Amino acid sequence: MKKVIIIGSGLGGLTAGNLLAKRGYAVTLFESHSAPGGYTAGFHRKGYYFESGALSLESSASVFKAMQDIGVLEQLDFVRQRMRYVSADYDAIPENFLEYKKMLYEAFPDEKAKLDRVLAELEEMADALSGMDGPIPNLLEGFAKLKAMLPYLWKGPKLLKVAKRYGEMTSSEYAARYFEKGSKLYNFFGNTFYPDMPAMLLGAVAGMFTDYWTVRSGMQAWADVLAENFRKLGGALILSSYVDKIITRDGAAVGVMSKEAFHQADYVIAAGDYKKTFLQLIDDKSLIPRELVKKVESAAVSEGVFTVYLGLNIANAELEKYLKIPHVLLDNSSPGYDIYDAADAEYFTKAPLTMYAPSLVNPRHAPEGKSSLMLMTTVPYHWLNNWGGGDKEIYKELKAKAAQALIRTASTLVPSLEEKIDFQDAATPLTYERYTHNTDGATSAWSWNPQKRFHKTIIEAHIDTPVRNLFIGSCWAIQIGGIPGALIAAYECVRKIK
């Protein structure tokens, strides 16, 4: 029986581990944290539950297919999500792309001519990206895979046309074609998801209205179900065990070192941060071409977030009166907001905000008569000397200052929010890096900016490494990462080992 070691129990590691264990491999999964899940996880504090990373998922057909393959789909309670858009100019919960357009036209009637052109182009992008509603072909085999590829082949000419026009253009560059830099609509289209993401992905917003989900019992419950199933299949999940080195012999991975003990394997899957895998974990650096080392060192990662976790002394019914639904995009951004200005001490007073209430998804996520709320915003890399340059007291002060700024912004939607707080904590990109080991607390692997790509293509899987029998099994194998990226990488690793 061949042995496989997986480093990291995020969604990629858990998926690969389950699939390999189901095929009869002896699989050991090392996780540095005390609980599985990575960014697909959550935690409890004083009776409140909060998500640790991912709030939601798309590509549901792929997620459901993977969970069905593993045999846990019926144990999971995936539920549909919606988003409420709020600013000084609009307040709407679009159910489809038509309502999304209506929201913008009503909010900015003087910009109708420009919006006509922008929204028409977004529909063209959406059309090119639509029709591929089944599982990603990477998750399939044989005839089923060929069948799943047909929509991609059918849409091929449209995709190529859109990619040629918008693929190398950032969303900010696209927004600047129509709107003055710094204007409301410039910020709206330039920062829809990730700053300076590929402009062609703006069309993906249309799919968000029909394929946007979460897990009612929480992301941690999802990770726990996968972990328990893995154990039932005979897999060994070793928590609180950081892997110090990937051990190689004659150019091939032969195991890992953890807690000064050597664990032998025929294959090793690194299901975590790509940079740390190549720059820290591999024992023999001579196996990695110098040019690749330089490329890995300099490659940009996706932006991190700052999150405030709040337990509130109000019932869900009262919180729902203010939020209406669990997920709210509150754009109260002020003039001078710049995601790239790491020296702006007042950044958090200007930034837009995501508000997410776990207890509105599931009342059990808060004590009876209370509710839970998360406030999140994307932050500049290494804000204010990377949150104080290592000084713990400055770090605490900056963390408190940022939290207070977000609470004040959120109070425009939830009046007197500060007076309703029963529990409060916060996480910076340094917090996320400490728990997930993602460089700079990256939220979705590599940068989404098409001009800063590490991998040449957006969605192609890159699981191979210069070290034989060492594969990348996390979302870092895909340029834009995410849950679909983690699943693709996991399946490709399993296919390679088979």
What pLDDT is recorded for position 151? Answer: 76
Sign, CA torsion 58/64/67/72 = positive
Residues sharing a CB contact under 8 Å with residue 452, sequence separation 6 or more, in sequence order: 299, 300, 446
Segment 100-107 long-range contacts (CB within 8 Å, at least 24 positions apart): 100/205, 100/206, 100/209, 104/185, 104/188
pLDDT given for residue 206 in this prediction: 79
The yes-or-no verdict on residue 154 having pLDDT over 80 is no
Specify the pLDDT at position 231. Answer: 98
Q: If phi over 0 gives left and psi between -120 and 50 gives alpha, with beta otherwise, what is residue 207?
A: alpha
pLDDT of res. 1: 85
Average pLDDT over residues 28-38: 97
Question: What pLDDT does 457 receive?
Answer: 84
Instruction: Give the model's pLDDT for residue 272.
Output: 96
**DSSP for 135-164, written as a single string:** --GGG--HHHHHHHHHHHHHSHHHHHHHHH
Task: Retrieve residue 157's tokens.
Answer: 């000419």
Using alpha carbons only, how large is the chain's radius of gyration in Å? Answer: 22
pTM above 0.85, yes or no: yes
Task: Quote the tokens at residue 394.
Answer: 């400055």
Most confident of 271-280, 327-336, 453-462: 271-280
What was the pLDDT predicted at 251? 97
Structure tokens at 413: 């939607």
pLDDT band at 321 (very low <50, low <70, confident <90, very high): very high
Per-residue pLDDT band at 402 (split at 50, 70, 90)? very high
Q: Check: CB of residue 85 under 8 Å from CB of residue 94.
A: yes
The 10s digit of each residue's pLDDT in 426-437 is 999 999 999 999
As a whole number of angstroms, the distance between CA 497 and CA 329 comes to: 42
Which pair of tokens denotes residue 422? 């029963």
Would you state the pLDDT for residue 205? 84
3-class SS letters over 429-494: HHHHHHHHCCHHHCCCCECCCHHHCCCCCCCCCCCECCCECEEECCHHHCCCCHHHHHHHHHHHHH
| Alpha-carbon dihedral sign for residues 264, 265, 270, 276 | positive
The pLDDT of residue 127 is above 90: no
Averaged confidence pLDDT in the chain = 95
Kindly tell me if the per-residue pLDDT of 131 is higher than 70: no
Per-residue confidence (pLDDT) for residue 157, from 0 to 100: 82
